[in-house]
Structure 1
């Protein structure tokens, strides 16, 4: 059984491109969201294994959204991976303080890097 994924990003083009890429590589993208409120609703509804959350959601902090998602996982194994077009060093302290499992640059997003971040073979 493959991973079920929710992608949270405020860029429609990225949502479409990332969804297509991950689906092609065997990750089931069960939904997308562009705001924190939408992400929380979709997360509750879909119960994905993983949520990819953009650090910069326009006027919202992806760090806050990640925190709220993880607070709602109700004992499930769901994980959050932070993503960004920015370099990891730009947010190193915030990433380290975040409860998210990992950080991935958008340019490196793939099924392989997600599995590596999760420690899945």
Structure 2
């Protein structure tokens, strides 16, 4: 079962996402609402993927994605950026980040996470802003 860490500043979203993903075969091993907590949990729990909200209230999820990537070192924790905003709003920032992909919160699912991790993003090639994992 895929082990996931979710980082978002909305307690409601954290609860709803945990419930949804666990019913779809994704083990949510932890949730965090800020960068410090996310970095600590990532090190303690060794998740296989981290879902990071781009807008963490007063903190930047894009910056956190980079810190998680650097902190994981050889283990290389894949990060998927999430947001309630359209992907086009952040396309350049997402492409410049170490994230393996982006999911709109309304499209969040176990299958969507697994597809991004496998590099089998099913969007039309012209609509993609990210390359395969590990880029």
Q: Who is 1:41 aligned against?
A: 40
Q: 1:120 deviation in Å? A: 6.8
Between 74-83 and 9-18, report the one with greater CA deviation: 74-83
Give the distance between the partners of 2:22 and 2:73, measured in 1 at CA.
26
Aligned equivalent of 1:30:
29
- 1:15-50: CA deviations, max 9, x gaps? 000001000100000000000011000101101000
Q: Aligned partners of 2:36, 2:83: CA distance in 1, in Å?
A: 19
Shift of 1:74: 2.6
Task: Report the number of matched residues.
Answer: 120
Report what 2:81 is aligned to.
Answer: 82
In structure 2, the residue matched to 1:98 is 97
Distance 1:5 1:39 in 2: 12
> CA offsets, 1:59-106, max 9 Å, x none?
111000000001011311420000000000001110010010000000
Give SS of 1:72's match.
Answer: helix
- Structure 2 length as normaliser, TM-score? 0.86
For 2:114 and 2:63, the matched residues in 1 are separated by 24
Match status 1:115 vs 2:89: no
Task: Give the whole-Å Cα distance in 2 for the aligned partners of 1:17 and 1:37.
Answer: 22
Q: Aligned-pair RMSD on alpha carbons?
A: 1.1
TM-score, with structure 1 as normaliser: 0.96
Where has structure 1 moved over 6 Å in runs of 4 or more? Answer: none
